[in-house]
Amino acid sequence: MINKNTETIIENNKVTYKRYFDVDANLLFEVWSKPEHLSEWWGPDGFTLTIKSLDFSDGGIWEFVMHGPDGHDYKNKIQFIEIKKPKLISYKHIGDGEGDEDVNFQSRIIFESSGEGTNLIMEQIFSSKQELERVNAKYGAIEGGKQHVGNLAKYLDRIR
């Protein structure tokens, strides 16, 4: 059974989401790293995903479009900083790939084995507390992060 609760901790310029999944770290890592999985769950409620390119390696770039329930398309570009299978995915969000860096933050996705399952720790680190507050006010980033982890849980339920 997958825990239905995501713990959210807000500290200054960082938001941390924690959730236990009753799957091993290798599977959890895989659904964060393969296009066929990412396109099934990535994003907040109501969003769909189109992957333009994905170079899942240290320094690699991932370009994708999140299609919002409001009909708006949100272009995104991520650069992977460090990948340690199946323990860590670290990346920085570097805007929309076309010069707009309206949302710029770093994320660390940590996979900690715990018994027969895995604790997922997703950290989003912004340049300042004010920047976190701005992005949250404009995009609903904190609730979106909770929904993002919730959609991961729903996807894992489907594929198990």
In this prediction, residue 4 carries a pLDDT of 64
- CA 95/CA 100 separation, integer angstroms: 5
- Model confidence at 25, pLDDT cuts 50, 70, 90, reads very high
In this prediction, residue 2 carries a pLDDT of 45
Q: What percent of the chain has pLDDT over 70?
A: 94
- Do the beta carbons of residue 93 and residue 104 sit within 8 Å? yes
Q: Which amino acid is at 106?
A: Q
- Model confidence at 114, pLDDT cuts 50, 70, 90, reads very high
pLDDT digits (tens, 9 = 90+) for 84-103: 999 999 999 987 756 555 77
- CA 124/CA 143 separation, integer angstroms: 13
Domain coordinates in residue numbering, the chain: 7-159
- CA 19/CA 8 separation, integer angstroms: 9
Provide the CB-side half-sphere exposure for 85 (13 A, CA). Answer: 10
121-137: average pLDDT: 94
Task: Work out the angle at residue 46's Cα, subtended by the Cα atoms of residues 43 and 50, and round it to the nearest 5 degrees.
Answer: 55
Q: What pTM, to 2 d.p., does this model score?
A: 0.92
Identify the CATH class of 7-159.
Answer: alpha beta
Nearest to 125 by CA among 17, 7, 2: 17
